[in-house]
Structure 1
């Protein structure tokens, strides 16, 4: 068994003859030569999870190699944001797949789980991929379906703000009002994988310049001239508007009823996608946004960039 601490470089030998050791500096570049370029943005983000093992935050990462050449890697790690499950990711060079390597890497990492307070696992994969079969075969069950959709300009009517009880307003990403709403929204749509988003984490992970956030707009209700509460928000992670889709996080006040939230989402999307395409991530838990994008998809007004499935294996 590999050690709990990241120090040292002991190895294990798999049934396939590959040797397994802890992740080391430079493995990412070596594996890129064997794996090739990532297939989509999700794949790129998942590969970035592979990094040296640590005890704070808790993570374990291992590499399988053949005669010193890295061919596969796997990791499990704990997130302070989603505390109830450890995340798992593994990738094997195409010509070495279907040999049980990923299963053995998972087993090695599972032996480390008793050293962590959390015992349950989760992982995500592309819909219809070999990884999906792997997760099913190893006791994982589907808990979420996510997709990245591109909404084309003019797909939705542009609301007549002058004659409706709504107003579009640019707002600073450092706004306390916006940060609180983003925090509440994130926690509300992650009941399937409990989140502990806080104002500080929301600012750091979703709103600070370091997160890639470049600006934000909110849709306010003007029915109450004094309060003007925020109904929905859109945060952009694209520096300049071009013909390429802008990455946008779109959310709403979780205190709204479903019909109110869907109305706010529809109006805000109509405004932010009036002249340029926008790309939004939609989980099944985001019911108001899902209803709008499903409707557009039925009319061929949106393009699905990629789909991901999230699987979990919860400790009994």
Structure 2
């Protein structure tokens, strides 16, 4: 290791590393690469670079997030020609030293990897264990037949489908309730509803629109209400939608966040109805964690029928 030196991140390191690193293997690597940067204290982050004979060949970072603050995100990447020489271990040891000084007092690490990649092998060697599987699932147009809304014996509709403004307090609360309930494996920090809206439903988050399914409408109408939200979908604009000359292919799926009331007795039916509406003409892609049991079972069923496919599967690994 005498030919390798460790130092803090410097301006221009990203350009030099991109010249020797191959294209990112997957979405996760792309996201982490974008996080590499100068040290900051708000939010707290430390990044380091390893040079070989004066040329940057590897880098790593560790940082806090305000949404999930029980662990620190971490990432290490080494140029292919310099792997299996202890460079990754050198970076990880330094990242753990930085983690021990984080202002929050949190030092446990987490990362996200794609199975059967070099990053997966290194993370598992480092002692990080899987705490969640997550998939990006593409559902083809027409994958589900339209399903009628439920009605009572007098043919009165007991369900309703409604477009809802992304600034809706009711929608924000429903989304946050869902998010917290399916992230017990990595509990989110307390957030104000205003911040939740900013993170998931704002123009800044590229939220484009929202549709909800309301259940028990008949009973709610007696009290002058609309009925509780049992399932919802939020659509998002592509990050490069406004790029000059960008033409969106007809088969490009719309990214959506699907959620549901985990206590609703017919949540599975309601989510399926909502998804059928979304894919009536166009494909969609959504993220599903194994902790989202209703969505996970629906995704498995569609994949089994050949009307959906996994675009990418990843594992969240963490210190235990």
TM-score by length of 1: 0.89
1:24 match: 10
Change (3 A) 1:295 1:144: same
Q: Could you report, residue by residue, the CA deviation over 1:10-52 in whole angstroms, capped at 9, with x for unpaired residues? A: xxxxx25222211122222222222233233332212112121
Tell which deviates more after alignment, 107-116 or 146-155: 107-116
- Counterpart CA distance in 1 for 2:177 and 2:150 is 29
2:244 match: none
Q: 1:274: how far off?
A: 1.1
Note the aligned Cα RMSD (angstroms): 1.8
- The 8 Å contact of residues 121 and 312 in structure 1, kept in 2 or not, is answered as yes
Q: 1:284: how far off?
A: 0.5
Q: Does 1:271 align with 2:277?
A: yes
Q: Could you report, residue by residue, the CA deviation over 1:194-217 in whole angstroms, capped at 9, with x for unpaired residues? A: 112521222111111111111111
- Counterpart CA distance in 2 for 1:263 and 1:100 is 52
- Counterpart CA distance in 2 for 1:256 and 1:16 is 61
Q: 1:66: how far off?
A: 2.1
- The 8 Å contact of residues 214 and 226 in structure 2, kept in 1 or not, is answered as no
The number of residues matched between the two structures is: 298
Note the 1:78-227 alignment, pairs <5 A: 78-116=64-102, 117-161=105-149, 165-196=158-189, 198=191, 199-221=193-215, 222-223=217-218, 224-225=220-221, 226-227=225-226
- Which runs of no fewer than 5 residues in structure 1 stay unpaired? 1-14
- The 8 Å contact of residues 131 and 317 in structure 2, kept in 1 or not, is answered as yes
- Which runs of no fewer than 5 residues in structure 2 stay unpaired? 152-156, 242-247
Q: Which runs of 4+ in 1 moved over 6 A?
A: none
Paired residue secondary structure (1:200):
helix
Q: Does 1:67 align with 2:53?
A: yes
Change (3 A) 1:178 1:144: same
- The 8 Å contact of residues 16 and 99 in structure 1, kept in 2 or not, is answered as no
Q: 1:299: how far off?
A: 1.4
Q: Does 1:288 align with 2:310?
A: no
Tell which deviates more after alignment, 37-46 or 50-59: 37-46
- Counterpart CA distance in 2 for 1:162 and 1:182 is 23
- Counterpart CA distance in 2 for 1:143 and 1:158 is 36
- The 8 Å contact of residues 74 and 90 in structure 1, kept in 2 or not, is answered as yes
